[in-house]
Structures are given as C-alpha cells and as structure tokens.
Amino acid sequence: MSKRTPLDPASLDPAFVVQAAHTVPAEEVLRQLDGTPDGLRPDEVTRRQEAVGPNELPEGEKRTIPAMVFDQFKDFLILLLLGAAVISGVLGELVDTIAILVIVVLNAVIGVVQEYRAERAMEALKEMASETATVRRGGETREIHASELTVGDIVLLEAGRIVPADMRLIDAATLRIAEAALTGESLPVEKHVDPVREVDSPIGDRSSMAYRGTQVVYGRGVAVVTGVGLATELGKIAHLLGSTGDVKTPLQKRLAQFSKQLGMAALGLCTIVFIVGVVQGGDILEMFLTAVSLAVAAVPEALPAVATISLALGASRLVKTHTLVRKLPAVEALGSVTYICTDKTGTLTLNQMTVEHLASGDAQALSADTLANPEDGVSWLGKALALSNDVSGQNDELVGDPTEIAFYRAAAQNGFDPVALAKDLPRAAEAPFDSDRKLMTTVHELPGGGYVSFTKGAAEAILERSRDAMITDGSTVPLDADAAASLVDGWSAEGLRVLAFGMRRLDKLPGDDISALEQDLSLIGYTGLVDPPREEARQAVGTCKTAGIIPVMITGDHPATALAIAKRLGIADHKEQMITGTELDALSLEDFEGRVEGIRVYARVAPEQKLKIVQALQDRGEYVAMTGDGVNDAPALATADIGVAMGITGTDVAKEAASMVLLDDNFSSIVGSVREGRRIFDNIRKFIKYTMTSNSGEIWTILLAPLLGMPIPLLPIHILWINLVTDGLPGLAFASEPHERSIMERPPRAPKESIFADGLGTHLIWVGLLMGGASLFMQAWSMPRAPENHDLYWRTMVFTVLCLSQMGHAMAIRSDRESLFKLGIFSNKPMLGAVLLTFVLQLSTIYVPFMQKVFKTEALSLPDLLIALALSSVVFWAVEIEKAVKRARDRRGDVAAA
C-alpha cells in the first residue's frame, strides 16, 4: 500500500476536479477529466497518482504513550496529591504516601488507556474503505488495491461491493446502493446516470453519484472516479473527526475547579495555623508539623479514587442494561446532559421496513379480520405480496430488498405462504424494477392454464396504468381518483411509503416487450410501509422529558418520514419544530443559534450540519449527548459532550469516536444510563459533602481552640489518622449508594453550576462548625476532669468525638432528603460495614496498648466513652432535622404548585 500523504483537495490541479459532478452529464464529466470508457493508460495513471495522491485517508499526528503519560500529571489536583505524598513521607506516614501514589498511578493508567482508544478513531475510519476495486484500464479489466485508484479511473460496481471512491455513474442497471452509513437514509438508494438539477442537493438525493464507503446491494454499474482520499465525502468527515478537540465532561470541569479552590485553601490554611499556633506560644516544630498535617488532611486524596470507583461500578451496572462504557467519565456526563441528539433509523425505530396498512383496490382499508378470511380481491393482493419479490432465505434469515422483505413477511403473517405459492404459481417471466418506470412486474403460471401478472410500484405509477379497481369480492369498479389521492396523501402525511399493486390475466406469455403488461391493469391494493418506532423508545422519550432532557432527532431521512416518527414518539408536535438540511444551510449562524433550542427534528442533514447542530447547542450553554451509528455521525459523536454509538449497526468509526456504545441499539437503554449518571454524580457530591465537612470540622477545632484560650486539641498523628480512616472506607462506600427515588423527576443540573451548589457549601460550613463545636465542648468539659498531667486523656476524648461525629455524618447524608430510618441502614451494606469497621479501629487506638503508643492516646473509662459517643451523635441528629425541614419545604412547594 502506498505511504504517500493524501493531498489537500484545495491544492489539486483544476484539471482533476469536476465541480458539482452530480449535475453534469456523464459524457461531460468524462470529457472534463480527459477520460474514456476504456479507462486510463498506465502512464497516465502514474501521472495522476503523483498529482492527486493515494486514495487513502491521513492518519494524522499520533501521540506517543510517554506523552500521554506525561499529560496525566499536569492536573492541579494530581500535583497536590503528589505533594501530599512527599509531605506524608517526610512525616514518616508511609501508608499515606503509598496510598496516594497508588491512586495517582491508577488514574494515570486510566487516562492513558482512554486517550489511546481515542487515537484509534481515525484508524477505524481508514478501514472503512474497501481493500480492492475492479477497474478498466487501457481496455482491460483488472482487480487493484483501492488505494491505487485515481481520478478518471473507470470502476465496475456490482452487488456486494463497497464503493472504493467518490464517482459519477456513466452506466447503471437497476443499481441500488445502501448509503445509511454516510447519509442516515434507511433504504437503499436507486441510482441512475441522469444529472441531478440542484447543485446543492443533499448527498442522499444525488442519485447520479456513488460515494466511498457505501455498499452496492443490487444491480450493477460503471462509474468514473471524481474524488479520492481527502477529496471524497468520507475524507471530509475524516478531516472533521481529526479536527475535533478534547471535550471534558461536567464532572471533570467541576472537579478541576474544585481542586484549584481546595489547593489555594490548603496553602492558606497551613500558613494561618502555623502563625496562630506560634503566636499562642506553641512549639515551632510541633506547630509546623500540625499545620502541615492539617493541610494534608484538607486535600481529599481519596476523591479521584471515589470518582473512578463510582464510575467503574456504574459502568459495570450499565453493561447489564446493554450499555458499554468506553470512557468512564461519560457515565456521569450522560446524567448531566440537557439535550440528546439521536439518529432515527435503528435507534428510535426497529430498522426493519414493515407493512403497517393495507387497502383494497377501491382504497378501502383492510382489517385483520378481512385478511384472515380473504375474498377473491384480497386474495389476489395477498398473492401479489408473496410472489412479486426477489426475496430468498427463510424466516429471520431473509435476504433481499428491505421493502420486498416487508411484503414477504406481510404475506406470510396473513396466511399467504410465499414458498407454497411459488410452487402453485411458478414465475414464468419478469420485468425487473427500473427507476424510470418505477415498476416491477412478475408473470406466474396459473394451475388451470393461463397466466397472471403482478405489477408493483409507486402508487401514482400504478394508478396511471390501471383501467379499474378490484374490490374485496373480486369484482371491479371504476377508479375513484379522489379516493385514491385521499388515501395516498393521508398515508404519506403519516410518514408511510405508499406502494400499489396491479394485476392482469393472460392467455399466453407475452413476447419480448414484457413491459407492455404494465398497461390496462386492475388495481388490487395499496400498501403503507414504515420503519416503525420502538415502543420502548416512546416510553424512554417520555422519561427523558420528565427528567428535563430534550430529545432531538437528527437524520438523513425524508422530512415527512422523520416528522411522522417524531410525532409518534412524542419528540415533536408540529411541522414548525422541524428543519431540513437545505433550510439550515440558508440560515446564518446567528439566526440558527436563535432557533436551535426550538427545533426537535432535523431531516436530510449532511455530516457537517450534524456537527454544526451540536456546536450551536453547546454555544447556547447546553450539554449535548449525540447518538449515532454511521460514519457521518463520527464528528458529532467526538464533539458532543457525550457520544453514544450503536453496537449492532454502528460502524467502527462511530464506536471509536464515541464514549459509550449501546449494545442493543436501543434508545431506551439511554434512560438507564441517565439514571446511573445522575446517581454517580450524586454520590460523588455526597463524598465531597462528607469529606469537606469532616475537614471543616477539623479546621474549626484547631483554629478556634487557641482563640478560646485552650491548647490545640489534636496532635499531628490524630489528624492523619482521622484523615486516613474517615476518607478511606466510609468515603469509598458512597460509590455503592443506590439512587434516590426522585432522581428522574428533577431537571439536569445547570451546566455552569458549582459543585458546591444546592446548599452543599452552606452545609459543610454549619455542620463543620457543629462538629468542631462538639469537639471543643468535649475539650472544655474534659480538661478540668482529666487526671493531672494527663493531657493525652482529654485529647483522646476530643479525638474520639471528632472521629465518630464524622461516622454519624456519613450515615445521615446518604440521602439529601430521605431519613436514614426510611432508607434502612442495610440498604448500603458497604457503608454500614465501613462505619462499623472505623468504629472498631477507633476503639483499638484507645484500648490496644501498642496502638496507644503509636497514636498517643489513653484508655477511657466506660462513662467517659459513653459521653463521647453521645456527644458525637449530635451531628447525626442535626442533619436528620435538616432533611426533615427540606421535606416539609418540598411539600409546601408541591401544594403551592397545585
């Protein structure tokens, strides 16, 4: 394979560029490219390859693993943690040092893995191109590697082949190409050689072109290459994907802001404590160690671990609900989004064409009872559905055009066995589908002699060729043009694709001009087809709206179909909420941003427009999730705050660009992800609420004691121990907290909302003061009662109150509103176990002789221990009262709203 760098399309020789090739006659395209139907000469191929470069997509500049590792240590919080590790090591606290370093290394490994996976997105895009192509060069047909194609090459297309470059068709025979991966169009597109009139028509409407990465599903064709490498539509998408920047999740942004604030506070704290202690006459060395220990304690080194573990546990839960998480922060981000931009085909719909309505020849709807007991007229329609198709295979393994498979299944479901009918009425002749006629006809031998022909096609084409209409009893009546128009318009307005069937009886087989059969037909019925919406998707849309998330459909499909499906799902209510790609192009960026929040459906959009939509919403301050499965979705997936790819129908490019993959391609799986994301963010906030309140209590205890004329109550080893045990197991146990009952009944958090919002900042101040006040009360009460020269005794009591107060606080804030007694103490067993273990460890520091020496404590009498336990429970009951006040306020708000 060539390793030359693909050239920028803007730098190409104009001789190798045909402007708007889809609008130029095929002969003129060949002339402009100086090509012939026999193909290029070998020497000309070499010259053009040098001029336009290889038919490859650029890899871009790859980042090395060492560079990725280095970047992981630029984060401010990580640097603080490394500093804390050094300080802890100097103080002889090797356990803290090792724990901090393990956490830092773990986060660095996770970050490198995530970045490495992101680098693979471009490689996956390159692999979308076919490896070989059949070309005609110098009058000879040969197979070459797709990278060797150049502008002006003549390429032969046939069913099953991937289109290797962008090309203008110069011959097409019943050619149909599946372009869903590029345009989002659910059905294969019929191709022909006639120019398209509109210069700026959407890619999905350029029927005279074949584009790289799409697949030929039917027929054959010959085309001249007009674009290779970056000059292809796929190449443009590659450029967009490569130019998307790194997108941080709400969690990452909030933690980054939090870490900066915390770092500055820790440095200031260290200075204040040292100065106050020295002024009060404390030993300089001891005050330095105390100040540094408190600064270390103020940095919650378990925060990255809690965040990582919370996200990892959430990811494991999501796998059970068919969601694979590729980037851990994406779990939380999905719980914070305000908009979900989703593709239609296969995500909101079943990606399976289905016959939804049937009508007789006189435009009368056919009910299930009528089909179950068919009369002659309906019987002919059922036979036409079963026989007028080229479907092969059995049951779920059917192969053929999606529309014909829908007819095949509809016939079988209504008692017309296609296999049995094919034996009773064998096919004797046929006229294949042609895009000019818009018809297909098959002729079948009747058991008693003679023949019958079935013709299917667009309703207007069948109506033009019909002389009468067959009703349910098999007799015929004159055509009613008004009734037919009413039915077709009505079904089309519902987003249905309307096709009709006609028939003729024959005494003998026709001659060579079989198309003559497509005249003087008896119209035997109409079919209304649709790719039906998933029922669970309808419920998921409703849940999203209840949760304050706006679902938006972005598709390359037809506007009428898109709007009809959106109405069924509850995404849109009226046409004014829809815009097409062409209309979007006509809007300036300023006008579009003014309308973007009112649009719910985008139809016939190009890849660049999908990216523009996501960016416009982000410019309006929204957090955007983008779901998709095709190559055309990759840039938007990479740019969105959270990209969600489809696992079954999704291309490798989409999966590599996304943060999450829906393994079942089901939009409803996103609802579980939203719930899980919100739960994770809630739990991380609970940990911050818990650890920062604990740190606040420690700070108030140390700062206020000298101001009240008392010595500093805690020794450095006490501070480090409290920090270790309280920020350890109890903190990590918050990751296992179940979601609150009302989690999907509240709006998403404001994108720019501080992590201290919703009363968290106030809580940590007043509860921290209460915690410190209880500790200082314990100090003031116990100092006069302690044995003479036994400072360790009263310090042990203060040490115990402060430590166990934090355990009560941990149990109380498991829910922001509900009482612990309603939640149940066993509803989070890891938390219960962590609190009990911490209680046992704290008692061991008091009563185990070896631990007494290490932690400078003395054994407390039973009465004093009970007093310390009672005083430490004050924080728990105070927070329970706070939650009761919140519940009462919520009830008053609900009554006022009603």
In angstroms, the CA 595 to CA 38 distance is 52
> Phi/psi at 756 (nearest 5 deg)?
-95, 10
Name the region of 525 (left: φ>0; alpha: ψ -120 to 50; beta: rest): left
Residues counted in the chain:
898
- CA 408 – CA 532 distance, rounded (Å): 17
Q: How many angstroms separate the CA atoms of 521 and 721, rounded? A: 91
Query: Would residue 489 show up in a list of annotated catalytic residues for this protein?
Result: no
**8 Å CB contact between 336 and 748:** yes
Q: Report the DSSP beta bridge partners of residue 645.
A: 628, 661
Bridge partners for 580 per DSSP: 603
Q: Please say whether the beta carbons of 204 and 179 come within 8 A.
A: yes
Cα end-to-end span (Å), the chain: 70
The residue type of 590 is E
Q: How far is CA 544 from CA 70, 328, 571, in A?
A: 39, 22, 10
Place of tokens 């994907």: 241
Beta bridge partners of 527: 358, 499
Residue from 709, 870, 868, 703 nearest 785 by CA: 868
Q: Which of 71, 142, 240, 161 is nearest to 631 (CA)?
A: 240
Query: Which DSSP symbol is given to 212?
Result: T
Distant-in-sequence, close-in-space partners of 855: CB < 8 Å, separation ≥ 6: 717, 718, 721, 799, 845
Phi, psi of 437 (to 5 degrees): -75, -30
Q: Which amino acid makes up residue 561?
A: T
Closest to 100 measured CA to CA, from 77, 74, 75, 116:
77
Q: Say how many CA atoms lie within 13 Å of 513 toward its Cβ.
A: 3
Task: Enumerate helices (H) and strands (E) in the chain, giving the number of each.
Answer: 34, 23
Given the residues 153, 166, 205, 343, select the one marked as catalytic: 343
Phi, psi of 643, rounded to the nearest 5 degrees:
-100, 130
Q: Is 390 exposed, middle or buried (0-12, 13-18, 19+ CB in 10 A)?
A: middle
Q: How many Cα atoms occupy the beta-carbon half-sphere of 794 within 13 Å? A: 21
Q: Which conformational region is residue 774 in: left (phi greater than 0), alpha (psi within -120 to 50 degrees), or beta? A: alpha
CB 627 within 8 A of CB 670: yes
Q: Would you please indicate which residues are annotated as catalytic (active-site) residues?
A: 343
